[in-house]
Amino acid sequence: MNLLYSGKVRDIYDAGDDRLLMVTSDRISAFDVVLDEPIPHKGRVLTALTAFWLDQVDDIIPNHLISVDGASMLVRKAEMLPIECIVRGYLSGSAWKEYSTKGTVHGMPVPPGLRQSDQLPDPIFTPSTKAAVGDHDENISFDQAADIVGRDVAAEAGALSLRVYERAFAPAAAAGIIIADTKFELGWIDGRLALCDEVLTPDSSRFWEASTWEPGTTPPSFDKQPVRDWLESTGWDKRPPAPALPPEVVQATSDRYVSAYERLTGKLFDTTPPVAG
């Protein structure tokens, strides 16, 4: 197969007949640098979690998945929207930074007096641009998104994204995981908006441990936090090459990914069969 794209984590191949093969590697990046040490099981976890969530929400929105094999997904090609569809349920990250200085989130008014990591009164759709490789996405308002894709499309993308987030939030909370925010990729397949790429994984979402969540603080993320913490402790200047990760940090990170899968799905990771789309 022809390699079409190789990113920090995923490799995408042309599978013919308007299909793509998406291979999720065990590579991990931190501070925009890909590290030399792979994280065991990471690719399979992200793929299996995506397949799980696509099945949970297929009555809300169709998707591009044809089949899954290990860390690979065979998918239908889609005409992707040139915006990222982000849903925020909590005030964190770039949204908190904007709110703390302007009192808004993506240009939208938000009630005053909220603290960092506070739950928002209602989840909100906060789109961003899709940056070129090597650049960073830019937060935009709904009106700016409407200028890019059209108002009706932006409204439909926002409504679908909110419904998917709300569907996932309750079962995740029951498993002790808060989905603070998440990013969806939507594209056109057969004239309908469809859910594509990874969905509700630790890499595309800000997952928090519910038992340790406390407004006014920055809860640790449920993905590569051990990697970030260790790299910060080394005094690394965040320019490549990164220092080699010790085995215990690699194992701790792998354990977090596997734990997220098992808690969210209620299944043991090693015994989960491939999921057909």
Question: Per-domain residue ranges for the chain?
Answer: 2-78+249-270, 79-212
Task: List, in order, residues 6 or more apart from 264 with CB less than 8 Å away.
Answer: 49, 52, 171, 172, 175, 177, 200
Low-confidence ranges of the chain (pLDDT < 50): 271-274, 276-277
Q: Look at residue 270 in the predicted model and tell me its pLDDT.
A: 76
How far apart (Å, rounded) are the C-alpha atoms in residues 204 and 53?
13
Average pLDDT over all residues of the chain: 93
How far apart (Å, rounded) are the C-alpha atoms in residues 151 and 170?
30
How far apart (Å, rounded) are the C-alpha atoms in residues 206 and 92?
9
- Of 61, 2, 10, 68, the closest CA to residue 188 belongs to 61
The token duo for 13 is 């191949």
CB 3 within 8 A of CB 11: yes
79-212 belongs to which CATH class?
A: alpha beta
Q: Look at residue 132 in the predicted model and tell me its pLDDT.
A: 66
Domain 2-78+249-270 has CATH 1.20.1050.10: no
pTM of this prediction? 0.92
Q: Look at residue 271 in the predicted model and tell me its pLDDT.
A: 42
Task: List, in order, residues 6 or more apart from 101 with CB less than 8 Å away.
Answer: none
How far apart (Å, rounded) are the C-alpha atoms in residues 224 and 170?
23
Q: Look at residue 134 in the predicted model and tell me its pLDDT.
A: 54
